[in-house]
Amino acid sequence: MKDKKVSIRIVFPFVMSVSIAVCIISCMFLFSHYFSGYFQRDTIEKVSKQKKTLSQDLEAEIENINELINSIYYQDIRTYDTATEMFQREMEQRMVRESEVLYSAAIYDAYGSSLWHSEKLPDRNKAEVKQEDWFQNAQKNIETIHYGEKKLVQPDKARYVYEISRYIEYVENGNMKSGVLLLEYYTDSIDEVLLHYKSQKSAYCYLLDTNRRLLYHPFEKEIVSGMYQEKTVKEAMACKNYKIEEQSGGKWLIERQQIGYTGWNVVLVNSMSSLDFESYNLHYVAWFTLLLVGVILIFLDILLFRSFTDPVYRLLQTMREFGKGNYDIKAKEEGIGELKNLSAHFNIMADKLQEQMEEIRRNERERQQMEKKLLQSQINPHFLYNTLDSIIWMIRSEEYEGAGKMVSLLAKFFRISLSQGKDMIPLEKELEHASSYLAIQNIRFKDKFEFQIEADPALLKYLCPKLSIQPLLENAIYHGMEGMYEDGEITIRIYDRDGDIGIDVADNGPGMTQETIDHIMHNKVISSKRGSGIGVRNVNERIQLIYGEDYGVIITSELDEGTTATITIPKMEETDDAR
């Protein structure tokens, strides 16, 4: 046995150490795989959020431009006759007000002839104007505003404008005509939005027009000088949402978003190589942490194994003794952490088990006593003797009809008392049994009392303990009718009592004192004298044993007024589970 323990203590730490090493290595590989995918998904999600924010800001700026061009159209062009000086003056004032965002503006008729243009915009012949993209697109798409190409207007300040045009209808000398409105809008506001994004070689964004020409690029000077070439335009326009492309010896994340109905596209480019570098650094830290944890776990496993095994072996031996029937044995509450609690809870379990076994034995004894009392109360020798004596007396007196009725009632009484060995019978049967008992006693006592039954028919289907009412009737007859020579009344009531069933047995006898009630309900009466109360107490104990202490028998009485014994039981049908 000793060698076996030694071998287990050697093999088990070795197996645990190998298992920990395998788990650590597996975790390292799983960690690497998971975080590689996690960083990629996280980067895509972050760039997508940045793209969404960037596109929203651009669309907000485009909306401002749309509001400006619509304001010029509806408040100036549609309001005044273009042939009047008022119109010329209003347009010049408009240019002054909007000089921070507008470089120039012009209005052309449907044939390219200039109707009005600001000072900064030179005159153009109509043939030249008609060839411009902004002019042709405005006439083709009369419902939308056309955003054209980017143009350098102030070389000394390196300021650019966007050519923005739209189809218009104007009044000239009272006649309605159609034409094109051209605005040269500074690119500063759009550039300012795009400049908020990173401008690094590893992360940047750029803006394309409908013809894939660059409207903005953070490295525009390098592109113009030929020192830099943007290679992602084709891939950007080919992807719907995002794309990971390998170029120049590295991986690049490319995401594109179209800006409203302008035809412009903003493209975000991010290097995945820098992401991999950050991922590798985290991998190294995680791997080192996992290795350190593995070494510590193996060391603790070897160091603490014996401290764990000894208390477990002793507890196991205690449990074996307990299983053999030695219920008084206790486990030593030793060890560390949960092991000590395990021994303590085992002792608590053993104590509770002993208490439950004792309670089971006590309940079994009480059940046997109650069964004995039930058998005693089922057949009262005095009642049987007196009833048979009355039958004999009736036969001798040639009262055959009364004797026959009494025999029939007695047979019915005992048939229901037996009830095929069932302890629970319907209230309807119990009520028949009580009626038979009262009828027999009424014949014996020469109609000394009258009885009546008031029962809710809906409650008669529910079950009740057999012989529950008869002992209360016996108590009412021998206590309540004692000393009365006429006008004796006994009433049985069955009614709903707050969701339960109430059964009252009431008489109009002389009543009882509280002392007598306490004597009937609580004193250990051994005498079998009639009306001693043992039957009532037995009924109360049986009901509480079956249903619990919330149910049972209650006696209320007033001197010279009468006595009422009330049984309370729950509603239980034959299909209900046994309580």
pLDDT digits (tens, 9 = 90+) for 267-301: 999 887 765 555 566 666 666 777 777 777 776 76
Residues 434, 344: one domain?
no
Token couple for 520: 């009937």
Distance CA 248, CA 240 (A): 23
Q: How confident is the model at residue 526 (pLDDT cuts 50, 70, 90)?
A: very low
Res 28: pLDDT: 66
Residues 499, 452: one domain?
yes
* pLDDT, mean of residues 122-148: 90
> Quick check: is 1 in a domain?
no
Residue 402, domain CATH: 3.30.565.10
Residues 448, 369: one domain?
no
Count the domains in the chain: 3
Residues 341, 392: one domain?
no
> Quick check: is 214 in a domain?
no
Res 466: pLDDT: 82
Put residue 98 in one of left, alpha, beta given phi > 0 → left and psi -120 to 50 → alpha: alpha
Distance CA 484, CA 344 (A): 68
Q: What is the phi/psi pair of residue 563, to 5°? A: -135, 140
Which is higher by pLDDT, 273 or 153? 153
Q: Which of 308, 343, 375 represents a domain boundary (last residue)? A: 375
CA distances in angstroms from 213 to 49, 189, 217, 267, listed in the order given? 25, 19, 11, 12
For residue 257, give the 3-state DSSP assignment.
strand
Amino acid (1-letter code) at residue 42 = D
> Quick check: is 231 in a domain?
no
Res 360: pLDDT: 82
pLDDT in tens, 548-571: 889 999 999 888 888 999 999 999
Res 97: pLDDT: 93
Token couple for 45: 């999600």
With contact defined as beta carbons under 8 Å apart, do 568 and 501 qualify? yes
pLDDT in tens, 156-188: 888 999 999 999 999 999 899 999 999 999 999
Res 205: pLDDT: 92
What is the model's pTM? Answer: 0.47
Residues 353, 468: one domain?
no
Token couple for 265: 């596209």
Res 280: pLDDT: 60
Distance CA 230, CA 223 (A): 8
Residue 178, domain CATH: 3.30.450.20
Which among 128, 130, 133, 103 is positioned nearest to 117, based on CA atoms?
Answer: 103
CA distances in angstroms from 227 to 41, 116, 155, 222, 230, listed in the order given? 33, 42, 21, 5, 10
Which among 513, 406, 425 is positioned nearest to 469, based on CA atoms?
Answer: 425
> Quick check: is 60 in a domain?
no
Residues 417, 521: one domain?
yes
* pLDDT, mean of residues 528-542: 68
Q: Where are the alpha helices (DSSP H) in 215-337?
A: 220-225, 233-238, 272-323
Show contacts of 166-169: CB within 8 Å, 24+ apart. Answer: 166/69, 166/73, 166/138, 167/138, 167/139, 167/141, 167/142, 167/143, 168/73, 168/77, 168/107, 169/78
> Residue 153 sits in which domain range?
77-189
Query: What per-residue string of b and e applies to 316-350 under the rule 16 or more CB within 10 Å gives b?
Result: eebeeebeeeeeeeebebebeeebeebbeebbeeb
Q: Which of 166, 189, 212 represents a domain boundary (last residue)? A: 189
DSSP characters over 178-236: EEEEEEEEESHHHHHHHHTS--BTTEEEEEE-TTS-EEE-TTHHHHHHTS-----HHHH
Q: How confident is the model at residue 113 (pLDDT cuts 50, 70, 90)?
A: very high
pLDDT in tens, 387-402: 676 677 678 777 777 6
pLDDT in tens, 313-331: 777 778 877 777 776 777 7
Res 566: pLDDT: 95
Residues 341, 417: one domain?
no
Residues 423, 486: one domain?
yes
Residues 336, 477: one domain?
no
Query: What per-residue string of b and e applies to 295-306 under the rule 16 or more CB within 10 Å gives b?
Result: eebbeebeeebe
Rg (CA), the chain: 53
